[in-house]
Structure formats: C-alpha cells, structure tokens
C-alpha cells in the first residue's frame, strides 16, 4: 500500500472514530433506516469532546490519534460535516 493510501485509510478511520464518539455522546445520531449521520437536537457539543478526552486518556484511541488536538479536530469536523437531518429521509419526505 502506498503512503498516500495509508494516509487516506488513517484519515477515514479517524473520521469514523470521531463520528462514533459524537454518536455515543448524543451529539450526533445515525438514521436507523439509512445509516446517515446527522446532528441530533442539541446545541452543546461538549459531551463529544469530554468523551473523546476520556477515551484518549484511557488509551482507547491509541493508534488512531497521535494527540488530543488531532482527536478534537476530528470530532469538530465530524460534527460540522453532519447534516441537520438524514438526507435520505428529508428527500423522501419532500416527495
């Protein structure tokens, strides 16, 4: 595997882990029908960062993130990139 492919795989893993942390913290939600991730009805993003820091401190994110800043940046990106609703559900409701 080339260096670029390894980097892309690591970034994808980081995105997935950050997304899962935000879901576990109740900041994001995964649509039970389509699997899309969207922002749950909350303005407080703090629980996702707290859970991420807890996991990082306890070594549960070893090999995924090199430092806390990398982890918190990934969590922030996961939250910011999530839609407000499941895109598929919104599409079907509009039709």
Instruction: Report the SS3 class of residue 30.
Output: strand
Question: Which comes out higher in pLDDT, residue 70 or 85?
Answer: 70
Q: What is the pLDDT of residue 3?
A: 87
Question: What's the whole-model pTM score?
Answer: 0.87
Rounded CA separation 95/53 (Å): 42
Exposure of 81 in the CB half-sphere (CA atoms within 13 A): 12
Rounded CA separation 5/94 (Å): 38
Domain span at residue 74 reads 3-94
The total domain count for the chain is 1
Q: What is the pLDDT of residue 39?
A: 86
The pLDDT of 72-90, averaged and rounded, is 91
CATH number at residue 79: 1.10.10.1920
String of b and e for 44-56 (b: at least 16 CB within 10 Å)? ebeebbebbbebb
Query: Which pLDDT band holds residue 76 (cuts at 50, 70, 90)?
Result: very high
């Amino acid at each position: 595997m080339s260096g670029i492919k390894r980097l892309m795989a690591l970034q994808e893993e980081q995105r997935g882990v950050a997304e899962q942390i935000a879901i576990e913290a109740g900041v994001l939600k995964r649509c039970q029908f389509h699997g899309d991730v969207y922002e749950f009805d909350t303005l407080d993003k703090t629980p996702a960062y707290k859970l991420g820091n807890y996991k990082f401190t306890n070594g549960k994110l070893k090999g995924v993130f090199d430092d806390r800043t990398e982890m918190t940046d990934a969590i922030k990106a996961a939250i910011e990139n999530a839609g407000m609703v499941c895109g598929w559900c919104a599409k079907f409701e509009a039709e």
